[in-house]
Amino acid sequence: MIENSIVYRKIGVKYEYLALSKAEGSFVWDKSGKRYIDFTSVWNVTNLGWNNPEVTEALVEQTKKNTQGLLWGSDPIQEEYARALTDTLPKELDACIKETGGTESVEVSIKVARAYTGRKKIIGFRNSYHGQLFASLALGNPAGSLKKIEPLVPEIISLEFPHESVGKDGFEQFVNDFETVLSRRDVAAVVTEPGIITGWGSTLVAFPEFLSEVRRLTEKYGTLLIVDEVGTGFSRTGKLFGVEHEKVVPDMIVLAKAISNGAAAIGTVVGKSALFEQALNDAVLVSTFGWTPLACAAALKTLQIHKRDKVWEMAKVKGNYIMEVLKKNIGGKVIAVRGKGMEIGLEFTDAKTCEEVRRKAFANGLHIVTGSQNNMQLMPPLTIPQETLEQGLDILVRGIQE
Ligand SMILES: Cc1ncc(COP(=O)(O)O)c(C=O)c1O
């Protein structure tokens, strides 16, 4: 309950403190036993539902074999997972780096890019979130809001993200400006999500062909393309990986979050082995807890379920349904609905209204988060039953219409 809860601040937005007592499938329960429908998936982690029994079982089985990996060697489950993951991604991406989460993996990809190209500059897009450390934060540096922890990592530049509403002319302008920056041939890498911002809460969708244009130009000027699929990966946007929407093959893909469905900490950079081999010593690619056998067992089972059940199709169908329902509510409090698959943003007229609707929904049993100020970000588990999804949407829509 709001009155009894601890409220803390995260990126300028208030959240109720939810003391979890149980979580299963598309539901979470608080300490008082109150049940909530979950529309967050812990921000794109529990894509297969909380505590997926098959993933838990794989993890438990692995505890009977071996739990810790070597820095200078490998465990069979690590090798099996590396094979399964690289077999699933485009064949050019034939090697993985063992990491523990999204931030670490993004930071590592930047080090690899600098070590490999010998260039210093890195480009990111403003108001994108790529992690909580100095380089990853610098990539999306939201104007002025990180002043107290500066200096961030130098030579990291944030450009405006060309979202849908820039229109054809605006996008052409972006492409021209982008080419001008790259043509100086001093940019090591561009880091971006694949056509939708899932981090920092804006749910902005890129102008069509954004990623293809970025790929074309990065290739032309010897700049590496790093795609952050920490949020979009594992079926969230209606494809197993977001790069599939435009059939783009980047130089590196960063994965974390839904990779193990929340059963264990793990992240990775999957890329071309030539990059990693050349950068190996200079980039210092070591992480003691990177890819523990436990995490690999959970990640392997997670990947197998996504492929076996074609979970991306669930995201596509239910995502379309959510958009349809929400679009009927545009006007009044809601000014826009945006998204891809089951990564959906609901933009309100102002931050106060957005917060009021979220609080009402929470009181009525829907666990949902506000992203940046006036944007509510919907990320239900992709396996949510249709009936539960409809109940959750009813709660939300009632809050909007009241
Ligand atoms: C798109 C994106 N990249 C990177 C990260 C950082 O991942 P982690 O929290 O595992 O460090 C996040 C986390 O929210 C994210 O949403």
φ, ψ (nearest 5 deg) of residue 33: 95, 0
Cα 336-337-338 angle, rounded to 5 deg: 120
pLDDT above 50 (res 62): yes
DSSP 3-state of 248: coil
Q: What is the DSSP letter of 51?
A: T
pLDDT above 60 (res 193): yes
In Å, what is the CA distance from 65 to each residue of 77, 80, 293, 329?
Answer: 10, 14, 9, 53
How would you label 314-340 residue by residue, b for 16+ Cβ within 10 Å and e otherwise?
bbbebbeebbebbeebeeebbebbbbb
pLDDT above 60 (res 238): yes
Task: Give dist(CA 198, CA 329) in Å, integer.
Answer: 22
Task: Give dist(CA 186, CA 361) in Å, integer.
Answer: 49
What separation in Å is there between the alpha carbon of 132 and the centre of ligand 1?
8
CA-nearest residue, atom 9 of ligand 1: 102
- In the chain the domains, ranked by start, together with CATH numbers, are 7-51+310-401 (3.90.1150.10), 54-309 (3.40.640.10)
**Percent of the chain predicted with pLDDT > 70:** 95
What element of type H or E holds 335? strand 334-340
Give me the pLDDT at residue 144, please. 67
pLDDT above 60 (res 89): yes
Structure tokens at 259: 């990779």
Task: Give dist(CA 360, CA 291) in Å, integer.
Answer: 40
Q: Which of 381, 241, 369, 259 is nearest to 319 (CA)?
A: 381
Q: What is the pLDDT of residues 367-376, one digit of tens each?
A: 999 887 899 9
Q: Measured from the CA of 128, which atom of ligand 1 is nearest?
A: 1
Output the average pLDDT for the chain.
94
Residues at CB less than 6 angstroms from ligand 1:
43, 101-103, 106, 129-131, 193, 198-199, 228, 230-231, 256-257
φ, ψ (nearest 5 deg) of residue 150: -65, 155
Task: Give dist(CA 246, CA 195) in Å, integer.
Answer: 9
Q: What is the pLDDT of residues 323-369, one digit of tens each?
A: 999 999 999 999 999 999 999 999 999 999 999 999 999 999 999 99
Query: Where are the extended beta strands (E) located within 142-275?
Result: 156-159, 187-192, 224-228, 252-255, 267-271
pTM: 0.95
Give me the pLDDT at residue 16, please. 59
Pocket test for ligand 1, best of 41, 103, 379 (most atoms within 8 A of CB): 103
What is the mean pLDDT of the segment spanning 247-265? 98
Cβ atoms of 22 and 29 within 8 Å: the answer is: yes
Cβ atoms of 374 and 351 within 8 Å: the answer is: yes
Following CA atoms 216, 217, 220, 222 in sequence, which dihedral angle do they give, to the nearest 10 degrees? -110
Count of C-beta atoms within a 10 Å radius of residue 53 = 11
Give me the pLDDT at residue 394, please. 98
Q: What is the pLDDT of residues 299-308, one digit of tens each?
A: 999 999 999 9
